[in-house]
Amino acid sequence: MLFKKIYYIFLACLEPLLDSFSSRLCFFCRNNLGALVCDNCVKEHLSLKKKVIDYKILDNFFLDHEQVFHPKIFYLINFFKKTSYLIKKAKYTRPHFSKFFAQQLSFFFVENLNQILTDDVNLAYVEDFPYSSIKLNIFITHSPMYLEKEKNRAFNFAALLAEDLSSSLLDHLQKSRNMKIIFQSSRGIYQHDLAKIEFLENFFVRIKDTKPLFNLGQESRISELSNAFKINKSISLGLEDLNVLLIIDDICTTGSTMLELMKLSRIYADFDEQIGFTLYGRNLI
pLDDT in tens, 242-278: 899 999 999 888 888 999 899 888 878 778 889 999 9
How many other C-beta atoms are found inside a 10 Å radius of the C-beta of residue 143? Answer: 25
Judge contact between 97 and 36, C-beta under 8 A. Answer: yes
- 137-171 pLDDT tens trace: 999 999 999 888 888 888 899 999 999 999 999 88
Report the number of secondary-structure helices (H) and strands (E) in the chain: 10, 9
What is the model's pLDDT at position 17? 59
Query: Is 29 part of a structural domain of the chain?
Result: no
Query: What predicted TM-score, i.e. pTM, was given to this entire model?
Result: 0.87
Which residues constitute the domain of residue 269? 46-281
- Alpha carbon distance 220, 158 (integer Å): 23
Residue 18: band (very low, low, confident or very high) from pLDDT cuts 50, 70, 90? low
In a domain, 1, yes or no: no
The answer to whether residue 154 sits within a structural domain is yes
Q: What integer best gives the mean pLDDT of the chain?
A: 82
**Whether residue 21 has pLDDT greater than 50:** no
pLDDT band for 31, please (50, 70, 90 cuts): confident
pLDDT of residue 268: 80
Spatial separation of the C-alpha atoms in residues 260 and 199, rounded to whole Å: 20
Share of the chain above pLDDT 70, in %: 82
Q: Are strands 136-142 and 188-199 parallel, antiparallel or unpaired?
A: parallel
pLDDT tens for 217-235 read 777 777 778 888 999 888 7
Residue 58: the pLDDT is 83
Asked if residue 32 is part of any domain, the answer here is no
Q: What is the pLDDT of residue 284?
A: 64
For the cut 90, the answer to whether the pLDDT of residue 34 exceeds it is no
At position 263, the amino acid (one-letter code) is K
Supply angle C-alpha 250, 255, 261, rounded to 5: 80
Report yes or no on 274 lying in a domain.
Answer: yes
Domain count, the chain: 1
5 within some domain: no
Asked whether residue 95 is assigned to any structural domain, the reply reads: yes
List beta partners, residue 46. 77
Evaluate whether residue 226 is within a structural domain. Answer: yes
**The dihedral of CA 250, 255, 256, 258: what is its sign?**
positive
Q: Span 68-73, mean pLDDT?
A: 80
Report the C-alpha gap between 117 and 114 in whole angstroms. 5
